[in-house]
Structure 1
Amino acid sequence: MNLSIVIPLLNEEESLQELHDWIVSVMKAQQYSYEVIFIDDGSTDRSWEIIEKLSGENPNIKGIRFLKNFGKSQALHAGFAKAQGDVVITMDADLQDNPEEIPELNEMIVKGHYDLVSGWKKKRYDSMVSKNLPSKLFNWAARRTSGVQLNDFNCGLKAYKNTVVKNIEVSGEMHRYIPVLAKNAGFSKIGEKVVKHQARKYGETKFGMDRFINGFLDLITIWFLSRFGKRPMHLFGAWGSIMFVIGFFSAGYIGFSKLYRLYSDLPYDLVTNNPWFYISLTTMIIGTQFFLAGFLGEIILRTKNNEERYKISEEVNFKK
C-alpha cells in the first residue's frame, strides 16, 4: 500500500464529507493505493455516524472511535499503530490542510529519501495577535531547544516513512514535537515543505491560547527527556552531590573556625548565630533532595508506565 492518511478529529461533522471527497479525488488522480484512518477523539456530534457512512461506501475508509476525548497525541498514536502504508500522512480534519499537497510530500519521502517531512504554513489566515505571533515565538524556542531546524512544528500536515511512526511514542501532548521525537529515535533526515493554509470553513478551532503555554511546558519536558530521560541521576545526582559537598565544607569551615577561636582564646559567637550556618545547612538539605530525586527517577524508569491510554469503543473496516 502506498499511503496511509491519518486524520484525528473532534466534532468536525460539517467538514468530513468534503474532506473525504477531496482526498479521494487526489488519490484517484495519482493512482495511489491508500487507506484513510479517521480517529474520532470523543466527538459529541455526528462525526462518527458520518465516518461509518463513508466507510460503508468506500472500503479504503477506516475509523477508530475513542470512548472519550483523550487528546490529539493519543489519536495519532492509535492511527500510527494501525497504519499499513509505506508512507504515512497526517492532516487535520478541519479543511485547513490541503490534500493536494500529499503527492509532493509523498515524493519527498519516496524519492528524496527523507524520514519525515513537515509542512510549513508560511502564509497563514489566522489572527496575527492570537496565533501568528505566539506561534513564531514558540517555533523559535523549539528550534533553539531541540536543534531541529523547522519553521512550523505545529503544522498538522506531515509525511513519514512507516518505520518512523512505528518507532516513536506519541504521548501526553507531544504531537507538536513529533519531529523531535523522531530525531531522538535516530531518524535524522527531516525536511520541510511550504504548504497552503486554508481558512477554517466550518466550526471553531478546538485550541485556545493555552496551547502555547502547554506547548512551552512540553518543550521543557521534551528537552529534559531527550537529554536526561534515560539518566536522570546524571543531572539531579550531579547537582545534588555538588550542593551537598559545598554545604558540608562550608558548615565544616564554620565549626572549625569556632574551635580555633576557642583554642586561641579569641572572641567567638554561637554557631547558630552565624547566618552562613543556615545557608550551608539549607544547601546540604537541597543537595540531598536533588540526589534523592535522581535516585527515584532511576527507579521509576524501571517501572511500568501507568499513563492512561486511549480506549477504543468502535472500529470500522479493520481486519480482525
Structure 2
Amino acid sequence: MDISIVIPLYNEEESLPELIAWIDKVMVENNFSYEAIFVDDGSKDTSWSVITQLKESYGSVKGIKFRRNYGKSAALNVGFEAAQGDVIITMDADLQDSPDEVPELYRRIKEENFDIISGWKKKRYDPITKTIPTKLFNAATRKMSGIQLNDFNCGLKAYRKDVVKTIEVYGEMHRYIPVIAKWAGFSKIGEQVVEHRARKYGVTKFGLSRFINGFLDLLSIFFVGKFGKRPMHFFGSLGVLSFFIGIIMTLWMIGVKLYHIAAHIPYKREITDQPLFYIALVAIIVGSQMFLTGFVAELVTRNAPERNQYLIEKEL
C-alpha cells in the first residue's frame, strides 16, 4: 500500500463526507493505493455514524473509535499503530488541510528520502490570539531542538513508515513529533509550504490551555531525550554545583571570621547573623537533595526493563 492517511477527529460530522470524497479524488487521479484511517476521539455528535456510512461507500475507509476523549496525541498514536502504508500522512478533519498537498508530500518522502516532511501554513486564517502564541512556541521549539521548522504544529505532515512505527506520542506531544523523531535518530526533516483553508464547519476544539501544556511537554521531550538514560548527569551536575557554591560561601565566611580573630580586629557579627549564611545553607541542602535525586533516578533507570533497548537501523 502506498499511503495511509491518519485523520484524528472530534465532533466533525459535517466535514467528513466532503473530506473523504476529496481524498479519494486525489488518490484516484494519482493512481495511489491508500487507506484513510479515521480516529474518532470520543465525539459527542454523529461522527462515528458518518464514518460507518462512509465505510460502505469507500472500501479504503477504516475507523477507530475511543470510548472517551483522550486527545489528539492518543488518536495519532493509535492511528500510527494501525497504518500499513509506506508513507503515512496526517491531516485534520476540519477541511483546513488540503488533500491536494498529498502527492507532493509523498513524492518528497519517496524520492528525496526524507524521514518527515512537515507542512508550513505560511498564510494563516487564524485569529491573532492563536497566531502570536504559535509563533512564540515555534521559536522556542526551534531554539531548544535545533530543528529549523517554521510550523511545528501543522497537522499536515508526511512520515516514512519506520518513523511512526518507532516513536510514541502521548500527552500533548503531537505538535512536537519532529522533535521526538529527531531524538529517536530520524534527523532528515524537511518542510513544505501548504495551503491553510478557512474553517468551513464547526468551531476549533483547542483552547489557550494547549499552549501551557505544549510548553511543559516540550520541556519533557527535551529532558527525556537528552537525559532519559543518564539522569545523574543532569541532577548530579546541578547538585554538585549548588553544594560547592554553598561550601565556598561558608568557607569564605569562616575565613573572614578567623582573619579578624588573628588580626585582633573586632568582629561583632556572628556567622549565623549574616544573610549569606542562610543562602549557603540552602545551597548545600538543595545541592545534596538534587544529587540524591539523580542517584535515585539512576537506580530506577538501571532497573527499568527498557534500560538496554536501543533503536537499531540496520543489522548484518
TM-score of the aligned structures, taking structure 2 as reference length: 0.90
Q: Deviations over 1:52-100 (max 9, x none)?
A: 1212332221111111111111111001111110000000000000011
1:93-242 alignment to 2 at 5 Å?
93-127=93-127, 129-242=128-241
* 1:179–1:8 CA distance, 2 compared to 1 (3 A): same
* 1:170–1:246 CA distance, 2 compared to 1 (3 A): same
Q: Deviations over 1:93-125 (max 9, x none)?
A: 000000111111000011111111011111111
- Cα separation, 1, equivalents of 2:261 and 2:129: 67
* C-alpha contact (below 8 Å) 2:172/2:210 kept by paired residues: no
- Cα separation, 1, equivalents of 2:147 and 2:72: 22
- Cα separation, 1, equivalents of 2:61 and 2:294: 47
How many Å apart are 1:171 and its aligned residue? Answer: 1.3
Structure 1 moving runs of 4+ over 3 Å: 252-271, 299-305
Match of 1:33 in 2: 33
* C-alpha contact (below 8 Å) 2:117/2:192 kept by paired residues: yes
* 1:259–1:138 CA distance, 2 compared to 1 (3 A): closer
- Cα separation, 2, equivalents of 1:262 and 1:181: 60
How many Å apart are 1:245 and its aligned residue? Answer: 2.0
Match of 1:314 in 2: none
- Cα separation, 2, equivalents of 1:52 and 1:286: 58
How many Å apart are 1:218 and its aligned residue? Answer: 2.3
How many Å apart are 1:157 and its aligned residue? Answer: 0.4
- Cα separation, 1, equivalents of 2:259 and 2:35: 82
| Relative contact order, higher structure (CA 8 A, sep 6+) | 1
TM-score of the aligned structures, taking structure 1 as reference length: 0.89
How many Å apart are 1:243 and its aligned residue? Answer: 1.4
- Cα separation, 1, equivalents of 2:187 and 2:272: 57
Range with greater deviation from structure 2 (221-230 or 171-180): 221-230
Structure 2 residue runs without a partner (length 5+): 307-316
- Cα separation, 1, equivalents of 2:270 and 2:125: 69
How many Å apart are 1:281 and its aligned residue? Answer: 1.1
- Cα separation, 2, equivalents of 1:210 and 1:262: 59
1:221-300 alignment to 2 at 5 Å?
221-255=220-254, 258=257, 267-268=266-267, 269-300=269-300
- Cα separation, 1, equivalents of 2:246 and 2:125: 56
